[in-house]
């Protein structure tokens, strides 16, 4: 049996494709574990984007859902860090120039 989405072979007992995560249509009880979308893991990936990137690369083939979740929060954390750094740099220079011009 082959996956209808990615075309890779899947076992007849699999309910989702291990490569892309699409349901295979097999009649079995599907459960989504809570650890796939654990909020603590999302917070760690957000605060330390490098950890999220490493987890994304490690779990990309074996756990596609967890991989996507960690990668998404790592990207959000990285972009947020850049935005905060930019705002703080602008505020620093505005304060520096205001202080400099108040002296003269």
Q: What is the share, in percent, of the chain residues with pLDDT greater than 90?
A: 33
Phi, psi of 11 (to 5 degrees): -75, 155
Stronger pLDDT, 4 or 54, i.e. the higher one: 54
Tell me the pLDDT of the chain averaged across its residues.
82
Residues 42, 15: one domain? no
Greater confidence (99 vs 3) lies with 3
| Residue 87 in this model has a pLDDT that exceeds 90 | yes
Same-domain check for residues 25 and 47: no
* Dist. CA 54–CA 65, nearest whole Å: 15
| 50 and 61 both lie in a single domain | yes
Same structural domain, 79 and 90: yes
pLDDT on residue 32: 52
Structural domain that includes position 26: 1-31
CA atoms of 65 and 84, how far apart (whole Å): 29
Q: What is the mean pLDDT of residues 94-98?
A: 78
CA distance 92 to 30: 53
Give the model confidence (pLDDT) of 14-65 as tens digits.
Answer: 777 878 877 777 665 545 554 545 778 888 999 999 999 999 999 888 888 8
CA 14 and chain centroid, separation: 25
How are the residues of the chain apportioned to helix, strand and coil, as percentages rounded to the nearest 5?
60, 5, 35
- The reported pTM is 0.57
Distance CA 33, CA 101 (A): 60
Q: Are residues 27 and 40 in the same domain?
A: no
């Amino acid at each position: 049996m082959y996956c209808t989405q990615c075309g890779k072979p899947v076992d007849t007992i699999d309910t989702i494709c291990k490569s892309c995560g699409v349901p295979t249509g097999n009649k079995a009880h599907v459960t989504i574990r809570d650890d796939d979308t654990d909020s603590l893991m999302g917070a760690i990936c957000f605060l330390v984007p490098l950890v999220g990137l490493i987890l994304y690369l490690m779990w990309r083939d074996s756990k596609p859902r967890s991989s996507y979740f960690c990668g998404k929060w790592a990207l959000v954390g990285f972009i947020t860090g850049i935005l905060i750094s930019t705002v703080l740099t602008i505020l620093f220079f505005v304060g520096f120039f205001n202080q400099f011009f108040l002296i003269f």
